[in-house]
Structure 1
Amino acid sequence: MIRQPNRRRVIQAAAVTGGLAGVGLTAACSSDDSGGESSPTLTVAASEVPVGSGLVLDNTYAVVQPTAGDFRAYTAICPHQGCTVREITETEIICPCHSSRFSTADGTVMSGPTDVPLKEAQVTEADGQLTIGPAS
């Protein structure tokens, strides 16, 4: 004899399946950009970074020079949903996906949707070359 599931069993099964799907969706939408890997160390000529702006280096770092000789770098990955920032103005680093804007001075959020700043990277200058790597 084959037993038909009763209403209670159907609802319990749906709740368990829906709960598991929700856990999977939460993990897929996580904004943790660490990925278990460390960021690489990259170099660029200091002369390539425009004063009052910056550039995105290898889709990894946003390197800026707010004033002559003042170099700063941040991860180029927006903490909101992992998009790579693209545009750098005199005062802002802009994510193209949802228009989060970050300060070139310190990586803090100027407008969201994110409320998490860009992570600072380490910049060292020697002989006209900038070496950018993860903050220590």
Structure 2
Amino acid sequence: MTSASPQPSAGPARRTVVAAAGAAGLAAALTACGSDDGSGKTVTTGAGSGDSGSAGSAQDGGGTALAKTSDIPEGGGKIFKDQGVVVTQPTAGTYKAFSSKCTHQGCAVGSVADGVIVCPCHQSQFSAADGSVKKGPATQPLAAAKITVSGDEIKLA
């Protein structure tokens, strides 16, 4: 009597695909921060690079102009629906950007205040400093987005 053995999978397991996609997304996601010191210098930092504030690469031009630094309130932020990003200023002169798509069920986040980004659909809350989950039901952080700050201008890179 022979027993049937399970068929080998034709491709990678779903868990492997999801994990790889998440890792690729994190590797590609970048944030930027800079100071409003009037130097006119562009500062770009990478979220996953371990670079937490030192100057990255200087760039002139390129990217989509989003706002002036004065448009982003300290401790708050601004949502750019057409571009699908939210830009925050968690501390004076530090600017961060994240996807405006909630990781719970894909709703667009609705507000930013007091250091918290809030999704109106199920009240998930994310840190304006790093996009991490502060309150569920979301379990994954908001994906970082790449911006550049040059003088008083913020651009989506």
Q: Deviations over 1:19-73 (max 9, x none)?
A: xxxxxxxxxxxxx9x9xxxxx9452111111111111013511110011110001
Q: Which residue of 2 aligns with 1:79?
A: 103
Instruction: Give the helix-richer structure, 1 or 2.
Output: 1
CA contact (8 A) 2:126 2:133 kept: yes
Pairing 1:52-71 to 2, within 5 Å after superposition: 52-59=75-82, 60-71=84-95
Distance 1:68 1:97 in 2: 30
Q: Which residue of 1 aligns with 2:154?
A: 130
Structure 1: gaps spanning 5 or more residues: 1-31, 35-39
Aligned residues: 96
Larger Rg: 1
Q: Secondary structure at the match of 2:89?
A: strand
Instruction: For structure 2, list consecutive stretches of 5 or more residues without a partner in the other structure.
Output: 1-21, 26-62
Asked if 1:48 corresponds to 2:71, the answer is: yes
Relative contact order (alpha carbons < 8 A, sep ≥ 6): 1 or 2 greater?
2
Identity of aligned residues (%): 38
| Two-structure CA RMSD over aligned residues (Å) | 2.0
Shift of 1:77: 0.4
1:84 maps to a residue whose letter is A
Distance 1:43 1:91 in 2: 20
**What's 1:37 paired with?**
none
Runs of 4+ in 1 over 3 A off after TM superposition: none
TM-score (norm 2): 0.56
Name the one with the larger strand percent.
1
| Mapped pair 1:100 → 2:119 | no
